[in-house]
């Protein structure tokens, strides 16, 4: 009996060793077949879904254009389902359709015109805004209080727009700013050989303020050098000699100066001499802007007033002169014309024709600063306002 059970167990073991691997392989085959069937079914379903979408879109396209009985019946049923107030009036729909069609036609025509014709440049937008000094550039109430000059006028020459003014119409002595008018009237002579020499005489001495000069009586200079040091260094005896060197003498010269001032539209400007040493040589900051404009038209005045230094042959030796305006001498501003002036009655004066960004002309006139440094610092401050505010 024990052998019989042992044989059965041996048979069972052989059976499991032979049959079970086959069953496992069959199970794997079955699973592969089922996966294949599922893939085929999913592929078929996706194809039917794509066909249905294509059919639906085609039907949607043709449904709008269809005029069959079914289409009419559907629209009738929809109208009947809507309440009376919700139905849009037929006339309004027609107008809406007509407007939509007209708009579509207009858009099509515009597009065709744009394609057919070359694109035209967009016109530039012009603005009439006037130039102004900007607070972000330091032009504030606080900074304006730090201006030392009692009278100031700043004019944008390009637009003839005043940018800043303080006591611009107050009449005040102008001191050696006078020499710009002296140069203008002297150069207006028809025949003036600039190389001919002009001698300093006792008539050229200052008997009003008794100022000193390095040009002694008897010094002989060319007319060109007389003009040069009168403008660059504000040499008083040179200016006095120039006013004497005029047809009709000094009285005729002063009369010509006053006539020219009236011709330039300077009714409050008056001259008593050609040096500016008289406190009766007066003007206003606004009217001096016209004098600066006129002086800028003369090449010699522009060159001589801006020269930094000059060696002059006086016949018995040489003298070196420098520019009396430190803004010009040290290149702190870019200008085309300048002149400074001082007497006790006037304080320190300065006029400039600045070139903002090397191209935009702005005239600055300043009268009545208590010190030379005050006048110079006013020029620097105003130049900074201009360079930041203007294009």
In the annotation, is 213 catalytic?
no
Q: Which residue among 179, 283, 346, 389 is the active-site one?
A: 179
Q: Provide the token pair at 249.
A: 């003498």
CA atoms within a 13 Å half-sphere pointing along the CA-CB vector of 271: 29
Would you call 176 a catalytic residue per the annotation?
A: yes
Distance CA 305, CA 302 (A): 6
Within 8 A by CB and 6+ apart from 199, the residues are 218, 219, 220, 241
Residue 250 to residue 75: CA distance in whole angstroms: 109
CA-based radius of gyration for the chain: 49
β-strand partners of 164? 154
CA distances 304 to 150, 183, 228, 354, 370, Å, are 28, 10, 5, 16, 27
Beta-bridged to residue 368, according to DSSP, are none
Q: Catalytic pick from 149, 233, 234, 324? A: 234
Annotated catalytic residue within 149, 176, 278, 369: 176
Task: In whole angstroms, give the CA distance from residue 267 to residue 259.
Answer: 10
Burial of 156 (0-12, 13-18, 19+ CB in 10 A): buried
Q: What CA–CA distance (Å, rounded) separates 147 from 369?
A: 9
Q: Is 389 noted as a catalytic residue in this protein?
A: no
Active site residues: 176, 179, 234
């Amino acid at each position: 009996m024990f052998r019989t059970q042992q044989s059965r167990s041996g048979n069972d073991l052989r059976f499991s060793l032979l049959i079970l691997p086959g069953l496992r392989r069959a199970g794997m085959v079955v699973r592969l077949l089922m996966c294949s069937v599922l893939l085929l079914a999913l592929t078929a379903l996706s194809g039917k879904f794509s066909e249905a979408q294509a059919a639906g879109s085609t039907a949607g396209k043709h449904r709008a254009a269809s005029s069959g009985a079914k289409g009419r019946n559907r629209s009738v049923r929809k109208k009947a389902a809507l309440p009376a107030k919700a139905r849009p009036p037929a006339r309004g729909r027609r107008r809406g359709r007509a407007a939509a069609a007209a708009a579509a036609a207009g858009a099509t025509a515009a597009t065709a015109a744009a394609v057919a014709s070359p694109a035209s440049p967009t016109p530039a937008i012009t603005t009439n805004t006037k130039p102004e000094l900007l607070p972000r550039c330091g032009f504030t109430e606080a900074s304006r209080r730090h201006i030392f000059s009692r009278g100031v006028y700043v004019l944008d020459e390009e637009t003839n727009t005043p940018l800043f003014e303080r006591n611009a119409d107050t009449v005040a002595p102008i001191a050696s700013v006078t020499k710009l008018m002296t140069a203008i009237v002297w150069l207006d002579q028809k025949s003036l050989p600039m190389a001919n020499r002009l001698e300093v005489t006792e008539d050229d001495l200052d008997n009003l303020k008794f100022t000193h000069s390095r040009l002694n009586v008897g010094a002989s200079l060319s007319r060109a050098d007389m003009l040069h040091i009168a403008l660059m260094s504000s040499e008083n005896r040179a200016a006095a000699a120039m006013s004497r060197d005029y047809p009709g003498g000094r009285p005729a010269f002063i009369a010509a100066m006053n006539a020219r001032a009236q011709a330039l539209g300077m009714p409050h400007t008056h001259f008593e001499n050609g040096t500016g040493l008289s406190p009766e040589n007066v003007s206003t900051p606004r009217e001096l802007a016209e004098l600066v404009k006129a002086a800028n038209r003369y090449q010699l005045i522009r060159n001589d007033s801006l020269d930094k230094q000059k060696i002059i042959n006086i016949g018995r030796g040489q003298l070196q002169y420098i520019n009396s305006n430190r803004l010009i001498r040290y290149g702190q501003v870019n200008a085309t014309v300048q002149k400074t002036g001082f007497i006790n009655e006037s304080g320190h004066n300065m006029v400039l024709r600045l070139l903002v960004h090397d191209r935009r002309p702005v005239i600055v006139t300043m009268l009545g600063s208590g010190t030379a440094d005050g006048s110079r610092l006013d020029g620097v401050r105003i130049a900074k306002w201009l360079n930041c505010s203007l294009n």
